[in-house]
Structure 1
Amino acid sequence: MLKFFQSLFFIFLLLLSNSLFAQQYVTVAYDSSGADFPNPERGFYPYREAPLTLSYVQGLRAQNITTIWRLYNIGAYRNGPLSATFLQQVENDLDVAREGGAKLILRYRYTVSQNGEDAPLDTILMHIDQLAPVWQANYDVINYIEAGFIGAWGEWYYSSNGLNNTNDRRTVLYAILDATPAERSVVIRTPGYKKHIYQTTVPLSPDEAFDGSNRARTGAHNDCFLASADDYGTYENIEADKTYLNLDNRYVPQGGETCNPSTFAHCTNALADMARMRWSGLNKDYHPTVLQRFTTEGCMDEIKRRLGYRFRLLDATLPDSLQPGSEFRLNFSLVNDGWASPFNPRLVEVMLRNVQDSTTYFLETE
């Protein structure tokens, strides 16, 4: 009997000990911020035709810019292979972007004139094949690739080689997608092109999103945003195409630039269309008149904040203290105040920072 009571007393001590050291949870609510955060793969970006330098990239980072639109003019190679020097330059640009902490949007084009010459299809495919190893080895610093290659500015509308048709556009797009790691998207100039290429007017569904298929990796860029009601022919059917992009762009990138200071290019339309079509990025350099109008009319700061994703922590329930080796449980609520979602895969990280000495600890997640 004595041993029985001794056992009960020992169990009681264990229970008492556990209750004394049981974790206490607290719920913390967080205030919002109006800061322009330099989150990756979103926001305003400059266009650049010259080779990148580290000082240039670092200067952009100091302005909270994390993405660069790098355009390559390759007209000198329309009748032959890309040179080793050129391929090394692309590699160098990607290396510099990595060192400086930026991501690149890539486009290759043979001409910037409506009457200029692009390249024959077999040459384009050869160039894509040459670029493939560079893209694959450096996809970590590629935001996405603009399809390019065909016609003036690489926008697919004009073509001296008759490539401005659905079959040839599909061939070029599929070649770029095949040459690019599955973790990255390729964007094309109009929603109509995507509908015709994939032979469906139905936008991506949640089940298709991020499944690695060509369609799930094909996004949009609009290089005449706000130029007119139909953005200079970007939309075949304005309402239907905008509805399509509203749904499709939940899972793929939408970027571009303004191109004409029209009566349509004002803050009211800019905010409405960027929200509806879920814009992630915009050229910060063009068109200067339209961009200045955003500042004058008072919407520029909101555009800077809301391009792409903007996760805001609402509240969190977590232990008020932790014992070494004990379980850590965290419940939290987020809201996305941005116009778009992240489109490139990322791991979830939980980071604990010591408030006294700023020592940082990372917790494993699945």
Structure 2
Amino acid sequence: MKLSFILTTVLCLVESIAPRCVPCPAIPNHSAPPGYTRILYNETNEHIENPDRGFVYEDISYSSNPTNMSVSDLDEIRAKYGITMVRKQFVLDEFVTSNISSEFLQFVDNNLDNIQTAGFTAIIRFSYTFNLTTAAPYGDATKDWILQHIEQLTPIFHKYEGILSSVEAGFIGVRGEWFYTTHFGDPMTLNYTAYPEFGYPEDLWQDRKDVFEALLDAIPASIQVQVPYPQTKVDLLGDTTPAGSFDEYLRSDKGRTGHHNECFLASDTDGGTYQNKTFEYPYLEEDTKYCMMGGQTCEWKSGDHQRSDCTTALSEMAMFHWSYLNQNFYTGILDEWKRQGCYEEIHRRLGYRYLLTEAVLPDSVLVGETLCFVLYIKNSGFGTPVKPLNMSLLLHSPLTGQFYAAHFYRPMLSGWRPEKVTKIQASFQMPPFMFEDDYDVYLMIRNKDLPDRSDYYILFANENVPDHSAGLNNMQHSIHVYGNYSDICGAGIYPFTAPNPSRYKRSFQGFTGGPIG
């Protein structure tokens, strides 16, 4: 089994007394030294409801006829489909040549507030029309109005940073798909003889770039902007090299630019998504290791439906690290997956799906000395989390109910690659204020912006590990902490307040072996 290694160590905090720290013993792979226990964990087929991943429920609201998704609507969607993610489209059809009204801005705010109350995450997109005409004008706005609208929406982007999985680039063209557009290069009048690079004047491409950069600047750095077509990202950034771990760490423009495919599996080119698959496939395979990928299927563009079969669907979702897929469209392909038997697997594997395979933990530790441990974590999903997360080892006293947390420093969960097992070896210093007791061990991975909401904590796909209400992962082991409070060499563990418990089961039980829908 191939292992990728991450070493996360918190060293003694006071250099002058660092020599008193007791070093960790050698812990060989897949074995426990004296005084330690090796715990093995079983995977479950349970459908865990985790944030920022999965099938999404699409909802479209027009400013001319706004329809709000209530919390009860979202509760019903969760109960029926096991979905905790919304793709919300706002159509600014009344504001093509004017500012967005304060009433509609409040409407957008109310929608996102309901989504947060219901424990969902959201992908959002703004556009001006959904009606495709045979020729321009198509009904989208000019660059100046788009930039003004992005500025108006900026406070909302920041207010709901915690629940926004991504913002699709939108704004330009019919449905915000950057294709049929009046002001940014009409595809019906392309002239590659006069304009060999894009088929229209370069200043119109610069206008697209201005909109894209304004959107990147408007939203928090933790959120990605998704663009249609892989070539669009290459052209916007002027860079043919895919993103890497450095881009993710620095939240560079390359690391914050994801992808959405609006016609997945509909034809050999996915309805025009791909122009040069020889370049785009390997580029996208590498880029989506760090940048978000999602979208929807659409109606078949040819008589050959074999491309949309389960075999190809599973292969390409794994290759391009899909995080989400619209379950509202196209139902013809989704129903075929149900008939062929891969729908449930896709439902579980979209995005990340983490599980513990084993852990090596101490049976006891002396106050003031070093708590050393090893974890092995597998990712059986298609992708990895799309936003920065915080990770901690928790010690819980059943006697007092108090939690203590040892926080990992900026864990890079994108390194927990699909179908790989990651070894995490770490150590923390026991603090002076912990009294003698047997402490239960938990692992916590949470959204940094919503620390009080357990709905946004990541649960592992193991038997008897996820505490669905608390959002924590019970590692099925206790550590006896003992000793007095003198001779402390450092401190890496602090009191921790558990989040509010979820009012949801966070486990979908709707699969009965038959079609779902």
- Is this a same-fold pair by TM over 0.5? yes
User: Which amino acid counterpart does residue 69 of structure 2 have in structure 1?
Assistant: L
User: Which amino acid counterpart does residue 278 of structure 1 have in structure 2?
Assistant: H
Check whether the contact 1:107–1:148 (CA below 8 A) recurs between aligned residues. Answer: yes
In the TM superposition, residue 169 of structure 1 has moved relative to its aligned partner by 1.7
Q: Which has the higher strand share?
A: 2
In the TM superposition, residue 352 of structure 1 has moved relative to its aligned partner by 4.3
Identity %: 34
Work out whether 1:105 is the aligned partner of 2:123.
yes
In the TM superposition, residue 331 of structure 1 has moved relative to its aligned partner by 1.1
Partner of residue 155 from structure 2, selected from 128, 133, 142: 133
Equivalent position SS for 2:77: helix
Q: Distance in 2 between matches of 1:24 and 1:149?
A: 60
User: Which amino acid counterpart does residue 39 of structure 1 have in structure 2?
Assistant: N
In the TM superposition, residue 320 of structure 1 has moved relative to its aligned partner by 2.9
Match of 1:60? Answer: 77
- After TM superposition, list the pairs within 5 Å mapping 1:12-91 onto structure 2: 24-49=35-60, 50-62=67-79, 63-91=81-109
Equivalent position SS for 1:140: coil
Q: Distance in 2 between matches of 1:163 and 1:226?
A: 26
Give deviations 1:71-93, integer Å, cap 9, x for gaps: 10111100100000110011111
Q: 1:111 to 1:322 in 2, by over 3 A?
A: same
Work out whether 1:219 is the aligned partner of 2:258.
yes
Work out whether 1:339 is the aligned partner of 2:361.
no
Q: 1:357 to 1:36 in 2, by over 3 A?
A: farther
Q: Distance in 1 between matches of 2:399 and 2:319?
A: 44
Partner of residue 242 from structure 2, selected from 198, 203, 206: 203
Partner of residue 314 from structure 1, selected from 348, 357, 369: 357
Match of 1:284? Answer: 327
User: Which amino acid counterpart does residue 122 of structure 1 have in structure 2?
Assistant: D
Check whether the contact 1:117–1:161 (CA below 8 A) recurs between aligned residues. Answer: no
Give deviations 1:259-317, integer Å, cap 9, x for gaps: 11451211111111101111000001110110000110111111111110111111001
Check whether the contact 2:184–2:205 (CA below 8 A) recurs between aligned residues. Answer: no
Equivalent position SS for 1:188: strand
Work out whether 1:159 is the aligned partner of 2:181.
yes
Check whether the contact 1:163–1:169 (CA below 8 A) recurs between aligned residues. Answer: no
Match of 1:142? Answer: 164
Q: Distance in 2 between matches of 1:352 and 1:304?
A: 33
User: Which amino acid counterpart does residue 192 of structure 1 have in structure 2?
Assistant: Q
Match of 1:12? Answer: none
* Structure 1: 4+ residue segments shifted above 6 A: 323-326
Work out whether 1:363 is the aligned partner of 2:405.
yes
Q: Distance in 2 between matches of 1:46 and 1:352?
A: 37
Q: Distance in 2 between matches of 1:154 and 1:46?
A: 18
Match of 2:437? Answer: none
Give deviations 1:8-62, integer Å, cap 9, x for gaps: xxxxxxxxxxxxxxx8210011111111111110000110123121112222333
Q: In terms of mean alpha carbon deviation, does 328-337 or 37-46 score higher?
A: 328-337
In the TM superposition, residue 99 of structure 1 has moved relative to its aligned partner by 1.2
In the TM superposition, residue 319 of structure 1 has moved relative to its aligned partner by 2.2
Q: Distance in 2 between matches of 1:66 and 1:331?
A: 32
Equivalent position SS for 1:72: strand
Work out whether 1:194 is the aligned partner of 2:233.
yes
Work out whether 1:252 is the aligned partner of 2:270.
no
Check whether the contact 2:170–2:178 (CA below 8 A) recurs between aligned residues. Answer: yes
Q: Distance in 2 between matches of 1:360 and 1:188?
A: 45
In the TM superposition, residue 207 of structure 1 has moved relative to its aligned partner by 2.3
Q: Distance in 1 between matches of 2:118 and 2:400?
A: 24
Check whether the contact 2:244–2:255 (CA below 8 A) recurs between aligned residues. Answer: no
In the TM superposition, residue 349 of structure 1 has moved relative to its aligned partner by 2.3
Q: So what's the TM-score if we normalise by structure 2?
A: 0.64
Give deviations 1:165-206, integer Å, cap 9, x for gaps: 532221111011100011110000010101111112111123
Q: Distance in 1 between matches of 2:184 and 2:382?
A: 37
User: Which amino acid counterpart does residue 126 of structure 2 have in structure 1?
Assistant: Y
Equivalent position SS for 2:249: coil
Q: 1:124 to 1:325 in 2, by over 3 A?
A: same
Check whether the contact 2:165–2:386 (CA below 8 A) recurs between aligned residues. Answer: no
Give deviations 1:220-261, integer Å, cap 9, x for gaps: 000100010110110111232111111001111101000114
Give deviations 1:84-121, integer Å, cap 9, x for gaps: 01100111112111111111110011111232310011
Check whether the contact 1:28–1:317 (CA below 8 A) recurs between aligned residues. Answer: yes
Q: Distance in 2 between matches of 1:139 and 1:121?
A: 25
Equivalent position SS for 2:206: helix
User: Which amino acid counterpart does residue 314 of structure 1 have in structure 2?
Assistant: T
Equivalent position SS for 2:334: helix
User: Which amino acid counterpart does residue 310 of structure 1 have in structure 2?
Assistant: R
Instruction: Flag the structure with more relative contact order, 1 or 2, with Cα contacts below 8 A and sequence separation at least 6.
Output: 2
Unaligned regions of 5+ residues in structure 1, if any?
1-22
